[in-house]
Amino acid sequence: MRKVVWCAALALDDGEGRLLLAQRPPGKSFAGMWEFPGGKIEPGETPEEALRREIHEELGLALGELTPLTFVSHAYPDFHLVMPVFWVRRWKGTPTPKEGQTLAWVARKDFLSYLDKTPPADVPLLKLLAE
């Protein structure tokens, strides 16, 4: 039986048609690929709590209202990923890469050009959010 890994991800909207993507740093799985910020849900956490914690740790942001957007369910060879995705338009702070990642505000109209530069689980999100 394949292990199920629960994560939460964020579509951080700058109000100008761009969302924040993070490039995975060297040494991590899918290094160099672009993804929506977020991370693993720890035991006892809700997806919202995990996302707030992860975004504070990774980007130094305090998130405003989290609006449920969609979810991802993807089978990798070693595990199955389940990932609720939330939309955020308001936050406190400036996104600052704290874990060696590169950040980019990407116009939604350009998302389809990232399909081959993102982990397989994020491909449906890029397609969904592309304008």
Rg from Cα positions in the chain = 14
pLDDT digits (tens, 9 = 90+) for 71-109: 999 999 999 999 999 999 999 999 999 988 999 999 999
pLDDT digits (tens, 9 = 90+) for 48-64: 999 999 999 999 999 99
Instruction: Tell me 13's DSSP state.
Output: B
CA distance 77 to 30: 13
- Going by CATH, does the domain composed of 3-129 fall within 3.40.50.300? no
